[in-house]
Chain A
Amino acid sequence: MAIDLHKYANPTRFLRLTGVIFPWSVGVTVVLLLTGLYLGLIVSPPDYQQGESVRIMFVHVPASWMALMIYSSMAISSAAGLIWKHPVADLSAKAAAPIGACFTFLALVTGSLWGQPMWGTYWVWDARLTSMLILLFLYLGYMAIWESFDDQSKAAKAAAILVLVGAINIPIIKFSVDWWNTLHQPASVATLQGPKIHSSILTPLLVMGLAYTSLFVSVFIIRVKAEILGRRLRILRINQLQE
């Protein structure tokens, strides 16, 4: 790889870099979120079958993209943490978990609100819904294991092992709608034949996806920064006690 990733394993350099990115990512989030909502809620036409309730999609679909993406990124950074023992990699996986859990929860809630008018029920035990629920439990288990170790470096390793074992679930969720013929519709954006939906709907969907991504980046930076500073504070306190 051309870029030397190890350079960013240094917490100070990481903090400086994220300090530069942060104002931009917040600005981009606000602009994209407003554009996406305007395009999705006002400009895009109502569906010929689903009517106005199709607009839930613009909140629901990007949230589930994020839920999967964040878990994958946690798996990658946990693997990096295990292999190269980068402190920032462990911390970034830890910082991403609650955000991912929130997106998963959002995807489940909006999905069930959308399911009520469309399918006539808030919840069905179909493959996609069940595997998203498992994903939520995986996030919760991951957060719980961080809490249950006193030693932070041990907690990081245990959590990394867990997240890598759980990562097997990601392809199952992604392809569940293709493998099992269930109520949830099959993939219609990222297919081999290209997107199967009209651009008037696809554009706001992608804008919302980008908005969620930059929202994630902003919140993620705040959380990693808080983790690094919290750790430094603890070391300072311990030093003070020793003196």
Chain B
Amino acid sequence: MLTSFVALLIRDIRLAVRQGSALTMTLSFFVIAVSLFPLGVGPELSILARIAPGVLWVGALLACLLTLDRVFQADYEDGTLEQLMLGPLPVELVALAKILAHWLTSVVPLIVVAPVLAISLNMPADGTWAMVLALGLGTPILSLIGAVGGALTVAMRRGGILLSLLVLPLYIPVLIFGVASVEAAIAFLPVAPHLLLLGGLSLGALVICPVASAAALRLAVE
């Protein structure tokens, strides 16, 4: 079971890397979206430092949202998904492998770029490490919850807008705790409670979301 899980994971990562464009497009979207804010708000460094945590989190959240339809869509369209679901691997683990691949290929690059953007937004150095930690703990939730939305809308022709309507409300707690942890670090307050809450949310989503995605996928290929 583990071998087929790893095989599926490697296949998905290889597909994402060889397609290439998808990876760089998400990254460029993130960078452009974040760099719009100094243009919109004005280049005053104190204001930018104040809004930087929120801007980076919202940018990461939207960039992640843009890639969600790809988690299951391509495999659903060419029939691979049905073959995978007929295979020996439980559908829950198929979903989990695809979620993990999505997180590794679409979200981890964002976390790597985030500190650079944080510096450009004049965020204090104390906040930067907290932000990387919070993104590392919090973004798996984005992939996990997003996969449920992606699986629910996979059979629809224009599921994109519905997907964001379904998924964004559920993202809000992640955003709140993520931004709170960065702001706590900047204000020299304890960061651990926020990070622990994010980790807890992550573990909870890890239990629930693969099961819910699998149920939605079974519905889609019915």
> Which residues of A are at the interface with B, using a C-beta cutoff of 8 A?
82, 130, 134, 137-138, 140-141, 144-145, 148-149, 154, 157-158, 161-162, 164-166, 168-169, 172
Chain B 135-166 near chain A by CB (<8 Å), digits 1 or 0: 00000000001001000110010010010011
A166 with B169: in contact, given A158-B152, A161-B148 (CB under 8 Å)? yes
Q: Interface size class for chain B?
A: 20 to 34
Chain A residues lying within 8 Å of B74, measured Cβ to Cβ, are none
Which residue on chain B has the smallest CB distance to residue A82? B215
Are B170 and A165 in contact (CB-based, < 8 A)?
A: yes
Are B173 and A162 in contact (CB-based, < 8 A)?
A: no
B222 within 8 A of A: yes
Chain A residues lying within 8 Å of B170, measured Cβ to Cβ, are 138, 165-166, 169
Chain A residues lying within 8 Å of B215, measured Cβ to Cβ, are 82, 157, 161
The one of B166, B172, B208, B219 that contacts A154, using a Cβ cutoff of 8 Å: B219
Q: What separation, in Å, do the CA atoms of A114 and B67 have in the docked complex?
A: 41
Chain B residues lying within 8 Å of A138, measured Cβ to Cβ, are 169-170
The 3 closest A-B pairs by CB, nearest first: A137-B169, A141-B166, A134-B169
Are A130 and B172 in contact (CB-based, < 8 A)?
A: yes
Chain A residues lying within 8 Å of B159, measured Cβ to Cβ, are 148
B208 to chain A, nearest CB (A): 7
> Which residues of B are at the interface with A, using a C-beta cutoff of 8 A?
145, 148, 152-153, 156, 159, 162, 165-166, 168-170, 172-173, 176, 204, 208-209, 212, 215-216, 219, 222
Chain A residues lying within 8 Å of B219, measured Cβ to Cβ, are 154, 157-158, 161
Are A161 and B172 in contact (CB-based, < 8 A)?
A: no
A67 to chain B, nearest CB (A): 14
10 contacts between A and B (CB under 8 A): A130-B176, A140-B165, A141-B165, A144-B165, A145-B152, A149-B156, A161-B215, A162-B166, A169-B169, A169-B170
The one of A82, A134, A149, A165 that contacts B172, using a Cβ cutoff of 8 Å: A134
Chain B residues lying within 8 Å of A168, measured Cβ to Cβ, are 204, 208
A179 to chain B, nearest CB (A): 10
Q: What separation, in Å, do the CA atoms of A130 and B169 have in the docked complex?
A: 10
Are B152 and A144 in contact (CB-based, < 8 A)?
A: no
Chain B residues lying within 8 Å of A157, measured Cβ to Cβ, are 215, 219
Q: What separation, in Å, do the CA atoms of A164 and B209 have in the docked complex?
A: 11
Which residue on chain A has the smallest CB distance to residue B209? A165
Are A148 and B156 in contact (CB-based, < 8 A)?
A: yes
Chain A residues lying within 8 Å of B222, measured Cβ to Cβ, are 154
Chain A residues lying within 8 Å of B168, measured Cβ to Cβ, are 137
B169 to chain A, nearest CB (A): 4
Chain B residues lying within 8 Å of A148, measured Cβ to Cβ, are 153, 156, 159, 162
Are B216 and A141 in contact (CB-based, < 8 A)?
A: no
Chain A residues lying within 8 Å of B209, measured Cβ to Cβ, are 165
Q: What separation, in Å, do the CA atoms of A15 and B7 have in the docked complex?
A: 53
Which residue on chain A has the smallest CB distance to residue B145? A165
A137 with B165: in contact, given A154-B222, A157-B219, A161-B148 (CB under 8 Å)? yes
Chain A residues lying within 8 Å of B156, measured Cβ to Cβ, are 148-149
B218 to chain A, nearest CB (A): 9
Identify 19 new A-B residue pairs, CB closer than 8 A, beyond the known A145-B166, A154-B219, A157-B215.
A130-B176, A134-B169, A137-B168, A138-B169, A144-B162, A145-B152, A145-B162, A148-B162, A158-B152, A158-B219, A161-B219, A162-B152, A164-B212, A165-B148, A165-B209, A165-B212, A166-B170, A168-B208, A169-B169
